[in-house]
Amino acid sequence: MYEREVQMTKKKIAFIPIDNRPVCYELAQDIAAIDGDIELLLPPKWLLGDLKKNSRIDGIYSWVESLNEVDYLVVSLDTIAYGGLIPSRRSSETLTEIKNRVEKFIDLFKSKNAKILAVSSIMRISNNNINEEEKEYWSKYGKKIFKYSWDLSKDGEAQTDVPSEIIEDYILTRKRNFEINCCYIEYAQSGIFDTLVLSKDDCAEFGLNIQECRKFEAIIKEKELKNVLLKTGADEIPLSLLSRIITEGKTLKIAPVYTNPDGKNKISKYEDVSVAESVKGQILLAGARPAAPEEADIILFVNNFKDIQGELVMGVEVEGFGEEFDLPEKPFLIADILNANGADNDFVNTLTDKDFYGENFLGYAAWNTTGNTLGGGLCGALAKYCAKNFNENAFKKVQTVRFLDDWAYQANLRKYLKNTVKKPDEAELKRVMKPFEKLVARKLGTKFKEISYSFPWERFFEVSVNVS
């Protein structure tokens, strides 16, 4: 058990997400609601981009302009520069056009006299021929461009039969994004950004993005910048910055405890560092410190893989959790990263056999990459742990969504819908969710009136769990 202090004033935070997905928008809202002394302001959802349209940048500018006094600005720079994370890969605008737009926003941000915490992505290189989130030519040349990038980074040279004009366009797009990130570093150096994170989105061991990271590392080291951080991840980073605000002024110690200690040095899918390094990086980014269990304020219980990370939707199944475990006697959260996107059913079955919900339970997460799971999970956990005006119903809502999304849908029902109905079907999902809803409600002690589901991007990848 832990004591809660008395808070006299609210933290007023303006929050510009990457796009309008539930994990970027609603999750931030719901986590902030856990502490009644946090006031989180977001732009109207219709201003933000989705899979098919860009964010309305002028509208977001007007929204920021309309804000009264705020204490913090959490800014996804890809949103104000390109219209979102996906447009950052697709946009054909010039560096000059992007810089002019960013400079206009920076002047506006400065006028708010708030602490600015910002994130910008280092452009990913996906290893597939799917152009859903990439330029049109990715459908034909995606895997070949990935190999070209890998070979060039690994060996210093590469051969490819991808047409030269496509390679040139790809390299120029990367160069533009690299240069704008260099501009952000200059802003951080001048003190405009309190914290700047350059996020390594969907990366691998080698690639042009890794080369760019090394260049950024050299710049950061040369300039001795303590407020510029390189982190693996993307979608969760704005939440990690929210964590940083939540923990400001506190010295919190978090101890990782692994179900497979020998596997902590393995590398997760879509990341370039070991699980242990990813965990450490997320703890530090959240404004806390790694520690031994006996010294820790919070236990981070990590259900990790032994050799390779599973990926249920891709048919990569690995051995699940097969042991008993005792619930920590300290406040704890659970990061279930056995699979990339989707809970470990064996672990969840073991967990739900226990009376895990109580004062010490700070949350469960298993959404998408290891970084996504850790960043989102830590933010919710720290919101509860540090709350001075704790709203238990808000916390239960977050956990209801996480279990129904990360476990019920991603690990069990997503494949069912894809193989049987073959399209996102809200009514069918609601029907097959019923037994999962009952179990989650019983274990969390929830009494919500209604739970409904939608597919906001009209695809299987993300589902919106609407709890009222």
Structure tokens at 242: 């929210």
CB 372 within 8 A of CB 335: no
pLDDT digits (tens, 9 = 90+) for 60-79: 999 999 999 999 999 999 99
Query: What residue ranges define each of the domains in the chain, with the CATH number in brackets?
Result: 11-246 (3.40.50), 253-467 (no CATH)
CB 338 within 8 A of CB 305: yes
Residue 252 CA, chain-centre distance (Å), reads: 21
Instruction: State how far the Cα of 404 lies from the Cα of 268, in Å rounded to an integer.
Output: 23
Quick one: pLDDT at residue 313? 85
From residue 255, alpha-carbon distances to 291, 298, 316, 413 in Å are 5, 6, 29, 33
Beta strands in 173-297 (DSSP E): 195-200, 228-232, 253-258, 289-290
Quick one: pLDDT at residue 123? 93
Quick one: pLDDT at residue 356? 97
The residue written with tokens 């902030």 in the block is: 32
From 239, 242, 280, 230, select the one nearest 120 (Cα to Cα): 230
Structure tokens at 391: 């709203």
CB 311 within 8 A of CB 344: no
Quick one: pLDDT at residue 4? 42
Beta strands in 192-285 (DSSP E): 195-200, 228-232, 253-258
Quick one: pLDDT at residue 39? 97
Quick one: pLDDT at residue 249? 95
Q: What are phi and psi of 117, to 5 degrees?
A: -115, 120
∠ Cα 363 365 370 (to 5°): 135
From residue 60, alpha-carbon distances to 55, 72, 80, 198 in Å are 8, 16, 8, 22
Quick one: pLDDT at residue 76? 98
From residue 231, alpha-carbon distances to 144, 216, 390 in Å are 26, 12, 30
Which amino acid would we find at residue 392?
E
Beta strands in 107-252 (DSSP E): 115-122, 195-200, 228-232
Instruction: State how far the Cα of 337 lies from the Cα of 328, in Å rounded to an integer.
Output: 19
- Taking 70 as the pLDDT cut, the residues of the chain under it are 1-8
DSSP state at residue 312:
G
- Kindly give, in sequence order, each residue whose CB lies less than 8 Å from that of residue 224, ignoring residues fewer than 6 positions away: none
Quick one: pLDDT at residue 203? 78
Which amino acid would we find at residue 110?
K
Quick one: pLDDT at residue 201? 83
Structure tokens at 17: 């997400």
CB 467 within 8 A of CB 448: yes
Instruction: State how far the Cα of 448 lies from the Cα of 52, in Å rounded to an integer.
Output: 33
